[in-house]
Structure 1
Amino acid sequence: MDSTAAPQTGESPFAPPLPGNPHHHLGPRDPGDAWVEGDRGRFWGRFGSAGLLVHDAAKGILLQHRALWSHQGGTWGLPGGALHQGEEAIHGALREAREEAAVPPENVRVLFTSVFDVGYWSYTTVVAEALEPFEAAISDPESLDLQWVGIDAVGSKELHPGFAAAWPGLRSKLTEARRNTGQA
């Protein structure tokens, strides 16, 4: 497993729906949907969090424009969120990407993972390639927009601070992985 550093923003990439917000989830919440706090800051996801960075050779990287009511709302990042208890990060990232962006897990192949770990909380970026083209679709209220963005244009977006710090390393490793599979 690879480990790419992300900034120590002290906040998580994902926040719970705010009380009184019309977009809050109805019904029981998963026990993983909670903040954890420690000496390195406050993070979303009692059991950690994960996100999916999916690359389509023809379209680019799938980015999510985060809902304004979410933590770091209005920035661009990856579909993802809190892991369920006992859930593997790859499974959680694929589940969250399906829930938030209608990413069909059978249409992607995982290339590698990158973990940001502060000891009491971790965020796993699952990097995958699209095997078959698919149309992403907003499938829950956590997104303002979804866009396929060319690799060279990702950095021009107003990125979530954690993703912005991790992107250069992720981009480099994605380029290397594509080269090793003959896709560069």
Structure 2
Amino acid sequence: MASRDGDGWVACRCGHRHWGLNGAAGLVLFRPGDDGPEVLLQHRASWVHDGGTWAVPGGARDSHEDPVQAALREADEEVGLAAGHVQVRGTVTGTDHEDWRYDYVLASTTPQTRVHAANAETADLSWVPVARVPGLPLHAGLARDWDRLADRVRTASDA
């Protein structure tokens, strides 16, 4: 059980190449906004995989982490978000190729929660109303999963 033992590329049986030897996870963080719920999006630095796109903070799972632990650790590393500032609302499986999987962790926070680009993987951050997310150049995985995630965010924000 070593820290960062999940970093690395995997060629799954479907022929795709993915980051995360043990799979990966990302945080779909949302808060109330003037035009309905807003989600935190990370503009990925140009040098990372799918750089220049918008995504949620996330990355490789270490061998000892579940999706929630990995997503919260990655959010702290990438956007300076302390786990104590969120309420986990559930998980959603995104890509699942049996031998590699990406999980989204849905979590809510308050408008007072502050984030910042905490490492070089983050070019910019923005709180985006859920309805405006599809108009952005999204990471391919997030684009594929967005409709399902948006429905879950809307439902959770109404609860």
How many residues are matched? Answer: 153
RMSD value, Cα: 1.6
The answer as to 2:123 corresponding to 1:117 is no
Residue aligning to 1:22: none
The answer as to 2:10 corresponding to 1:31 is no
Percent of aligned positions that are identical: 37
Q: What's the TM-score, normalizing by structure 2?
A: 0.91
Residue aligning to 2:136: 157
Name the amino acid aligned to 1:158: P
Rounded to whole Å, the distance in 1 between the matches of 2:12 and 2:68 is 25
1:59-114 deviation per Cα after TM superposition (whole angstroms, max 9, x unaligned): 71100000101111000001010011121110110010011001121111111101
54, 65, 69: which one aligns with 1:76? 54
Rounded to whole Å, the distance in 1 between the matches of 2:12 and 2:130 is 34
Residue aligning to 1:7: none
Matches within 5 A, 1:122-161: 122-131=101-110, 133-161=112-140
1:153-183 deviation per Cα after TM superposition (whole angstroms, max 9, x unaligned): 111110001101101001112212223x1xx
Shift of 1:131: 4.2
Structure (1 or 2) with the larger CA radius of gyration: 1
Q: Which consecutive segments of 4 or more residues in structure 1 shift more than 3 A?
A: none
Residue aligning to 1:50: 25
Rounded to whole Å, the distance in 1 between the matches of 2:44 and 2:28 is 15
Residue aligning to 2:76: 98
* Structure 2 unaligned residues grouped into runs of 5+: none
SS for the counterpart of 1:175 is: helix
The answer to whether the Cα contact below 8 Å between 2:9 and 2:20 also exists between their aligned partners in 1 is yes
Residue aligning to 2:39: 61
